[in-house]
Amino acid sequence: MAEAQTAPDAGAPALHEEFDAAGTLRRRFTLRDGLLDGVMEIFDVKGRPETRQSFRLGVLDGPATIWQAGRLSLEMTYQDGLLAGEVHSFDPAGRKVAVTPFLAGRKHGTATIFYPDGRPMRVETYQDDLLQGPVLDYHPGGQLRQKASYVDGVLSGELIVYDTAGQVLERALYVDGVRQNPLGDQVAASKPGLMDRLFGKGG
């Protein structure tokens, strides 16, 4: 891979460009004192952008964008090498599929997953990278489908399932991730009994 370099003034960043054998620009970046400083861009064999990242003295700092096959895939921001702010995710058609907030590299705040038409599919809250508080799931038509609550990443409290008319289909209580039946016995949510698995609840 051939490289072109622009001679800088003393102390100024030096621009570097790398080309493949076909002459296509594959990477462009600047170095200051041997460290990435400024914007670095990476391109595929067709010259389409793949990655655009911002650096400050060798550390990711500022906006970053990722493309797949020339299509926008992710938009995010780094601060001192860690994700900070919202990460926006897109599908191949360019539709936004998720928004996830970060603080110091960890999920923190309200995250949303979207249906293709832009309506929310799921809304969840994070604190220090763990689910914390309400988690809401929605039907494709926008009606609330399920409401749950988490404490330190564990399902805790009441879980309610609704139909599209808003009627309650199921109501259950969870303590430390374990479902409690009406008699107070513990039932593991992910491991239904054999009779339930074979015949359903009414079997």
Domain identity same for 47 and 112: no
Asked if residue 69 is part of any domain, the answer here is yes
Asked if residue 102 is part of any domain, the answer here is no
Full domain range(s) for residue 14: 1-90
Asked if residue 52 is part of any domain, the answer here is yes
Q: CA 66, 119, 114, 144: dihedral to nearest 10 degrees?
A: 160
pLDDT of residue 160: 95
- pLDDT (tens digit, 9 = 90+) per residue, 99-152? 999 999 999 999 999 999 999 999 999 999 999 999 999 999 999 999 999 999
**Domain final residue pick, 64, 90, 116:** 90
Domain identity same for 61 and 129: no
CA distances from 106 to 61, 102, 109, 126, 183 (A): 16, 5, 10, 9, 39
Asked if residue 100 is part of any domain, the answer here is no
pLDDT of residue 203: 41
Q: How many CB atoms are closer than 10 A to CB 84? A: 19
- pLDDT (tens digit, 9 = 90+) per residue, 170-202? 999 999 999 997 544 444 444 444 444 444 554
Give the three-state DSSP class for 195.
Answer: helix
Domain count, the chain: 2
The CA distance from 140 to 117, in Å, is 9
